[in-house]
Amino acid sequence: MGKNGTKWAVVGGGHAGQAIAGLLGLQGHDVKLYDVYPELVSAINAKGGIQMQDDLNGFAPVTLASTEMKDVLTPDREFVAVVIPTAFYDSVAEKCAPYIKKDQIVLLFPESTLGAYAFWKRAKGCGAEDFIPVACNQLIYCCRAWAPGLVNVNGHKEYVGIAAIPAHKTEYVVEKMRPFFPQMRGLKNALESSLTNFQAIVHPIPLVMNLSRVENKEEWNPYFDGVTKSIAAFMDKVDAERLAIGRAYGFELDGMVTMYRDMYAFCSGETIYDVLQTCSCYRKIQGWKELDTRYLYEDLPYSLVPMIALAKLAGVETPHMEAFRTISYMLVGEYLDEGRTFEALGFDRMTKEQFVREIVNG
Q: Give the footprint of a copy of itself on this chain (CB under 8 A).
A: 209-212, 214-216, 225-231, 233-234, 237, 291, 319-320, 323-324, 326-327, 330-332
User: Helix crossing, 229-248 with 256-263: angle to 10°?
Assistant: 100
Rounded to a whole number of angstroms, the minimum distance from the CB of residue 215 to a copy of itself is: 4
Q: How many CB atoms lie within 10 A of CB 184?
A: 22
CB distance 35 to 17 below 8 Å: yes
Rounded to whole angstroms, how far apart are CA atoms 269 and 169? 38
Rounded to a whole number of angstroms, the minimum distance from the CB of residue 218 to a copy of itself is: 8
**CB-nearer residue toward a copy of itself: 30 or 239:** 239
E strands, the chain, where?
A: 7-11, 30-34, 49-54, 58-61, 64-66, 79-82, 105-108, 132-136, 141-147, 150-156, 160-164, 184-186
**CB-nearer residue toward a copy of itself: 181 or 234:** 234
**CB-nearer residue toward a copy of itself: 118 or 336:** 336
Rounded to a whole number of angstroms, the minimum distance from the CB of residue 332 to a copy of itself is: 6
- Those residues with Cβ within 8 angstroms of residue 245's Cβ, 6 or more apart along the chain or in another chain: 195, 307, 310, 311, 314, 316, 318
Rounded to a whole number of angstroms, the minimum distance from the CB of residue 58 to a copy of itself is: 43
Name the DSSP class of 157.
Answer: -
Rounded to a whole number of angstroms, the minimum distance from the CB of residue 285 to a copy of itself is: 15
Q: What angle do CA 297, 300, 302 make, to 5 degrees?
A: 85
Q: How many CB atoms lie within 10 A of CB 126?
A: 15
**CB-nearer residue toward a copy of itself: 265 or 330:** 330
Rounded to a whole number of angstroms, the minimum distance from the CB of residue 333 to a copy of itself is: 9
Rounded to a whole number of angstroms, the minimum distance from the CB of residue 213 to a copy of itself is: 8
**CB-nearer residue toward a copy of itself: 31 or 300:** 300
**Backbone φ and ψ of 346, nearest 5°:** 80, 15
Q: Edge-to-edge, what's the strand order for the sheet holding 150-156? A: 58-61, 49-54, 150-156, 141-147
**CB-nearer residue toward a copy of itself: 161 or 222:** 222
**CB-nearer residue toward a copy of itself: 171 or 215:** 215
Rounded to a whole number of angstroms, the minimum distance from the CB of residue 231 to a copy of itself is: 6
**CB-nearer residue toward a copy of itself: 140 or 207:** 207
Going from the C-alpha of 37 to that of each of 43, 50, 86, 109, 110, the distances in angstroms are 10, 16, 17, 20, 21
Taking every pair of C-alpha atoms in the chain, what is the biggest distance, in angstroms? Answer: 57
